[in-house]
Copies of this chain bind each other. A is one copy, B any other.
Amino acid sequence: MKISEVAERSGLSISTIRYYEKSGLCPEVRRGTDGQRRFSATEAEWFSLLASLRATGMSLSDMRAFANLYASGHETVPQRKAALLAHRENLDGRQAELDRCRVILDRKLQTYDEVLENRK
């Protein structure tokens, strides 16, 4: 699979995929005779997972740690699970904060409505 397809499937941009590889978020990708990257289905899925982690606010260095666990084989599954659980708690926190901010914005919108009502 070529890089463009991985980009399409994962939602990452082509440059981000190259950047992630260079940053050590995956083992070096094999190349075809033309020098272009050829991804396996498994590698493509890995990038999709990275996309979800990143979208939910995991830092590149935490992602690198996760990738290293992944690269070290099956015995690291418990650590990976722990990392993901911790990350999900984080996500909970950020979602709650977004909700709090949303309430503030809604209140602001309401005061705008009142202002407009009074000046009518």
**B-contacting residues of A (Cβ < 8 Å)?**
48-49, 52-53, 55-56, 74, 77-78, 80-81, 84-85, 87-88, 91, 94-95, 97-98, 101-102, 104-106, 108-109, 112-113, 115-116, 119
Contacts and interface: CB of A to CB of B under 8 A. Distances in A.
Contacts of A113: 81
Given A49-B104, A49-B108, A77-B112, A91 B98 contact: yes
Of listed A74, A105, A106, residue having the most chain B CB within 10 A: A105
Nearest to A75: B119
Contact of A88 (B56, B84, B88, B102): B102
B49 A81 contact: no
